[in-house]
Amino acid sequence: MTETTVGIGGAAESTDMVLNIGPQHPSTHGVLRLRLVLDGERIQSAEPVIGYMHRGAEKLFEARDYRQIIMLANRHDWLSAFSNELGVVLAVERMLGMEVPERAVWTRTLLAELNRILNHLMFLGSYPLELGGITPIFYAFREREDLQHVMEEISGGRMHYMFNRVGGLKEDLPAGWLGRARQAVAEVRSRMDVYDDLVLGNEIFRGRTRDVGVLTRETVHGYGVSGPIARASGVNFDLRRDEPYLAYPELQDVLKVVTRQEGDCLARFECLLEQSHNSLALADACLDRLDELPAGPINQRLPKVLKAPEGHTYAWTENPLGLNGYYLVSKGEKTPYRLKLRSASFNNIQALTELLPGTLVADMVAILGSLFFVVGDIDK
């Protein structure tokens, strides 16, 4: 009897491979790095590595006065600049106990919703692109240009509007602007069926996103996920309804909080799309109200040197990507003693550590893109 020992080598053994996605990679929405541990084609663990775009904005806030920090604040989520500015001025106005003119309140609400649509259109176009569908991004930029024109007309900026001021807005709206804004909203609405038919009606898109990257309600609450991503998992929370600010208390009949129960990539895209439809309706309601309001001031007169009284406050808003909050501490000086930023993407992206393990590498980009984040909003 002869025994023969055959060495099969290491190829038959299960070995882990560490794969770095990024920090420069077209699927990462900016300078984000994902450190994945793979077993074959399946992800064992995922670690988002952040900080490549960190500007130290929160420290810079302390060396700028209350007019200058608006410029710093609107850049962390470069797709939501107006909404970022809004949180800062609301916090300072709350510290001052300042009432803002009614025309400024309604105009701010209108511009916040237009900014929300601009943000969502970018992801409605770029997400199919990441899955191999190039056509929707061209439609998305066509619609974005219609809205960009009216935003640029009032502010002079295409991305960083710098139109908010403590006490109101920079200046009054140009003559005839409300009519041009109404026309832009109507044109965008008339073409939104492209995303319903071209994207949601595409069987390949649905096959790549349905039941992929399911985010549970428990994970949403555990990681502080917010915005359309949380609502796609059945978390029915929206500050515009639950803690209304600006003119939202008077828009409750128009406002619709869009939710889904599935929590997968498809549900997140559907929430984003349906929320865009609702923002167009909210913009029309604001335009109707602004047409009815009499002429009046758009801002409050401020002293040459603006100082917030000693104290602290927290102001949060329902930004396009989720909850955005500013914790302001003042020592009675012209600069904040501390201004802490709670950005939506910072919390949302942490859910990747729960979403990616157990999934295939082929589904990684679909899951990553469905979180609709901006890397500057993570790194601040």
160 and 179 housed in the same domain: yes
pLDDT at residue 8 in the model: 47
pLDDT at residue 277 in the model: 96
CB 26 within 8 A of CB 368: no
How confident is the model over 27-44, as pLDDT tens digits?
A: 556 688 889 999 888 999
44 and 64 housed in the same domain: no
pLDDT at residue 5 in the model: 47
CB 354 within 8 A of CB 219: yes
- Reported as half-sphere exposure (CB side, CA atoms, 13 A), residue 233 has a value of 22
222 and 341 housed in the same domain: yes
Q: In angstroms, how far is the first alpha carbon of the chain from the final one?
A: 72
Let me know if residue 121 belongs to a domain: yes
37 and 138 housed in the same domain: no
**Rounded to 5, what percent of the chain is helix, strand, coil?**
50, 15, 40
29 token code pair: 């929405």
Q: How far is Cα 363 from Cα 91, in angstroms, rounded to an integer?
A: 41
179 token code pair: 């009519």
Q: Which helix (H) or strand (E) holds 310?
A: none
In this prediction, the residues of the chain whose per-residue pLDDT falls under 70 are: 1-15, 24-30
pLDDT at residue 239 in the model: 96
Let me know if residue 6 belongs to a domain: no
Residues 6 or more apart whose CB falls under 8 angstroms from that of 262 comprise 210, 211, 214, 232
224 and 253 housed in the same domain: yes
Q: How many domains does the chain have?
A: 2
Let me know if residue 9 belongs to a domain: no
Let me know if residue 11 belongs to a domain: no
Let me know if residue 10 belongs to a domain: no
Q: SS3 of 7, please? A: coil
Alpha-carbon torsion 215, 219, 223, 225, what sign?
positive
Let me know if residue 329 belongs to a domain: yes
67 and 38 housed in the same domain: no
SS (H, E, C) 289-305: HHHHCCCCCCECCCCCC
Let me know if residue 1 belongs to a domain: no
270 token code pair: 């559907």
Alpha-carbon torsion 136, 240, 61, 302, what sign?
positive
Residue 24 identity (one-letter amino acid): Q
369 and 294 housed in the same domain: yes
Domain hosting residue 307, numbered range = 57-378
CB 347 within 8 A of CB 225: yes
36 and 148 housed in the same domain: no
How confident is the model over 251-267, as pLDDT tens digits?
A: 999 999 999 999 999 99
313 and 242 housed in the same domain: yes
66 token code pair: 């209350």
81 and 33 housed in the same domain: no
pLDDT at residue 183 in the model: 97
68 and 94 housed in the same domain: yes
- Taking each continuous run of H as one helix and of E as one strand, the counts in the chain are 16, 8
Q: How far is Cα 317 from Cα 248, in angstroms, rounded to an integer?
A: 11
Q: Which domain CATH number covers 322?
A: 1.10.645.10
pLDDT at residue 194 in the model: 87
Q: Which helix (H) or strand (E) holds 319?
A: strand 311-319
pLDDT at residue 16 in the model: 79
pLDDT at residue 21 in the model: 83
Q: How far is Cα 126 from Cα 98, in angstroms, rounded to an integer?
A: 40
Let me know if residue 271 belongs to a domain: yes
232 and 212 housed in the same domain: yes
- Reported as half-sphere exposure (CB side, CA atoms, 13 A), residue 339 has a value of 31
CA distances to 136, 201, 212, 273 from 121, in Å: 10, 17, 22, 8
208 token code pair: 């790549």
